[in-house]
Amino acid sequence: MAKRLVIALGGNALGNTPEEQLELVKETASTIVDLVEEGYEVIVGHGNGPQVGMINLAMEYSANNGGHTPLMPFPECGAMSQGYIGYHLQQAIQRKLQSRQIEKQCVSIITQVVVDENDEAFQKPTKPVGSFYNKEDAERIEKEKGYTFVEDAGRGYRRVVPSPKPCKIVELKVVEQLVDANDIVITVGGGGIPVIETEDGYAGVAAVIDKDRSSARLALDIHADMLVILTAVDRVCIHFNQPNQKEISEMSVEEARRFIAEGHFAPGSMLPKVEACLDYVSHTPDGTALITSLKKAKLALKGKTGTIIKA
């Protein structure tokens, strides 16, 4: 039986413009189809930080500057980003499948994820979205718009919004049906559209769920054999960007928790990735989590690079 992988792609790896994204997804598609050729069942989650921020900013600017367009709520911006990114990904994957004569379909699902309306995250925004700014521009926009900005792992300043934990994937049964039909599924885009349960059904809320946490939730619920988080580095490091930086090839749950307690992983960067892996492997005794770069994914699955986290 084929091993089932849930792969989480970073939104920053997908580019900041449609043209840039169309180019970058070619490499992403190649990696995904490489894994399909290796015999894996592949389910793809992805981030949307730059994209949802771009959409939100564009809609807001147009509404406030004579564009005669309405202000677009954040959940709707998230849905737009899912469609936009999913369209590019599935098109690139379908082309790569066709070029290699692989008989598979690829489909994107607009995915809602239930969150707890009392989650303390709503009182403390932490999730970076949108473009990177220098300190001066970030401070100016904070004053103008009332947004909250934080420094993001030495790369500049980004707006942050609430990031509640995912509780349930609304469209899970549909995802399962498509995976069982041997299709490649793109889901929980941007962590999923955050919704709360009400008497009248689901209602969207202004937040961004961390895509790694939603991918971990998906990996648990769909009984995946492995959670694979693809990021900008080949391996997780402690003492990152310091003279004594050290790559980690394998971590136990206990070691990962100790590294977290010692402050080795930056919030909004590597920390949620490691925490998502812990969420998955702590509830899946036979499961394995892997953090590596997109370019090295195939090698990492063969044990030649990457960071493995096991229970």
> Looking at the annotation, which residues are catalytic?
11-12, 127, 211, 273
Burial class of residue 285 (count of CB atoms within 10 Å of its CB; 0-12, 13-18, 19+): exposed
277 and 259 Cβ atoms separated by less than 8 Å: no
The Cα-based distances of 310 to 82, 166, 234, 274, 290 in angstroms read 31, 22, 18, 11, 9
Helices 18-37 and 74-99: crossing angle in degrees, nearest 10, is 50
190 and 31 Cβ atoms separated by less than 8 Å: no
DSSP secondary structure of 15-71? -SSHHHHHHHHHHHHHHHHHHHHTT-EEEEEE--HHHHHHHHHHHHHHHHTT---PP
In whole angstroms, what separates CA 148 from the centre of its chain? 21
Q: Which residue type does 195 have?
A: V
Q: Kindly state the tokens that stand for 229.
A: 């988080």
Rounded CA separation 23/21 (Å):
5
Q: Kindly state the tokens that stand for 279.
A: 């969420």
Report which secondary-structure segment, H or E, holds 222.
Answer: none
